[in-house]
Amino acid sequence: MVMNTMKNEDSLRSRTKILVVDDEQRMIHFIRMNLDLEGFSVHEAYDGKDALNQIRKVMPDLVILDVMMPKMDGFETLSMLRENSNVPVIMLTARGDEDDRVRGLELGADDYVTKPFSPRELVSRVRAVLRRIEPPEGAGGQPIQVDERLLIDFDRHEIFVDGELVKLRPTEYRLLYHLVQNAGWVVSHDQLLAKVWGYEYQSETHYLRLYVNYLREKLENDPRYPKYILTERGVGYRFVDFKRLNNK
């Protein structure tokens, strides 16, 4: 059983295409060497325009995107990419400035790595982001009619608000899944970070705040006064107890 699991993981990695975008050839070589060792299929781009062309051509499973590039920087590239693609993106930044990290996340990045970084850290982040693409274990079952506005079908990965299909990115979907599965109960920050991002992210509370805001913008009638995803200050978040509401 263990051997079969290892073979399945190796097979999955061998099919996983990663596009590395950086204007420094030495950095691309360094990243390629370490990802090659893990069995990933690595593709290269050296500027933002080339990256956008490569994404259409290669259709990668994940993009590693440097922030500091000439002509079109990583932020501009990501902004243009997000107009028509939800491919997961890890940003590379040479600065530890939290404003840069938050800006990348707000533009739609899934994670960031600050230079200099170790090969182990990069591979760990890549694996964590790829895990978030996969549906949560146990997802499925009957569609959930939260109220007259909101219908959630985890089996089909479809969310309807006022009858309109709303597109969620993989991380948003996983976060909503874990909140809804615990509807009526408070789920702590640590629990959500571990379930959605991984145990190594339990101190990254700004990820959670941003993605809760993303969900509220897409699901709530008025995100300033949420009725579905409720904040329990200093503890975590709670999804409304729709079962009790529907049984009244």
Write the pLDDT tens digit of every residue in 141-196. Answer: 788 999 999 999 988 889 999 999 998 888 899 999 999 999 999 999 999 999 89
- Distant-in-sequence, close-in-space partners of 150: CB < 8 Å, separation ≥ 6: 159, 160, 161, 219, 228
pLDDT interval class at 248 (50, 70, 90): low
Instruction: Delineate the domains of the chain, giving CATH numbers in brackets.
Output: 2-133 (3.40.50.2300), 144-246 (1.10.10.10)
Q: State the pLDDT at residue 139.
A: 63
What was the pLDDT predicted at 109? Answer: 92
| Interval 87-124: pLDDT, tens | 999 999 876 667 777 888 888 899 999 888 999 999 99
pLDDT confidence of residue 6: 45
E strands, the chain, in order: 17-21, 41-45, 62-66, 89-93, 111-114, 144-145, 150-153, 158-161, 164-166, 186-188, 229-232, 236-239
